[in-house]
Amino acid sequence: MNYRHAFHAGNFADLVKHAALLQLLARLTAEAGPLTVIDTHAGRGLYDLAGVEARKSGEAEAGIARLMAAPDAPAEFAPLIAAVRTLNGGAAARRYPGSPWLIAQALRPGDSYLACELRPDDHGALRELMKARRGVRTLCDDGYAAAIAQAPASGRLLVLIDPPFEQRDDYARIVETLAGVRRRNRAATALVWAPLKDLETFDGFLRDLEDQVGAPALVAETRMRPLTDPLKMNGCALVLLGAPDDMRPALEAVCSWTARTLGEGGEARVYSV
């Protein structure tokens, strides 16, 4: 496993994923009844944007730094902007929150959160960050298998799947995990992040989801540039299962602003399959 999220924290893809995650959590926590969240690929939970990795890649500079300075960011980014301000005590964004920090902040008493991270060093940092949080557990293990094994059979459940896509079978394992989770809990909501390189791979993934999971999905593509070079990460996509109906306009706002403002000839597409 070579992937280190510290190089990518706060980039355009994190902005889209985390703004959507906070929009989804706001809706799910507005409803009565406990919510369980399972984060299959949690990372370390908090990132130092002044660290070697972030400075080397420059991705946060082109992402969260521009969002924080933007005069025209849509209201759908407000919860993420507020979270980054809180984390940094109102000063310039030196630290950036990962999904565990954002999820833990959003949960109410009685909700619960399982954060899975396979790398022992990143899991150590995550465990330390989360240790005082009520209702939060961390696991240094394979998040795909943990989601299927630990999904509660009843009650409201959100599964976040955000792999590094280093392994050839990541797409197949996402499909297998969603099928397994929804077999246990038909009402589960899911948010999946995927890179957009070439459309063939992504369309194949959506077809497999339809065949093997069989649930309608809301798809939000943020194309940062025309998809002409399949070797580049040309954008990212979110796939939502069981999402509230009003997520669609929120996703349109987030993805369009990101593609238009941070992309080069970018565009957003939000559709149901």
Ligand X SMILES: C[S@@+](CC[C@H](N)C(=O)[O-])C[C@H]1O[C@@H](n2cnc3c(N)ncnc32)[C@H](O)[C@@H]1O
Residues that bind ligand X (CB under 6 A): 1, 3, 5, 17, 40-43, 98-99, 116-119, 122, 142-144, 162-164
CB of 10 to ligand X, least distance (A): 10
Nearer to ligand X by Cβ, of 76 and 162: the residue is 162
Nearer to ligand X by Cβ, of 119 and 225: the residue is 119
CB of 162 to ligand X, least distance (A): 4
Question: Is-contact 163 192, C-beta < 8 A?
Answer: no
Amino acid, single-letter form, for residue 214: G
Nearer to ligand X by Cβ, of 155 and 164: the residue is 164
Question: Is-contact 41 116, C-beta < 8 A?
Answer: yes
CB of 172 to ligand X, least distance (A): 13
CA-angle at 167, arms to 165 and 169, nearest 5°: 100
Closest by Cα among 270, 197, 181 to 235: 197
Amino acid, single-letter form, for residue 40: T
Q: 235 - beta bridge partners?
A: 196, 223
CB of 154 to ligand X, least distance (A): 25
Nearer to ligand X by Cβ, of 15 and 110: the residue is 15
Spell out the alpha helix ranges (H) of 95-159.
Answer: 99-106, 120-130, 143-150
Nearer to ligand X by Cβ, of 133 and 210: the residue is 133
Question: Is-contact 93 15, C-beta < 8 A?
Answer: no
CB of 100 to ligand X, least distance (A): 7
User: Strands 189-196, 46-48: parallel, antiparallel or unpaired by DSSP?
Assistant: unpaired
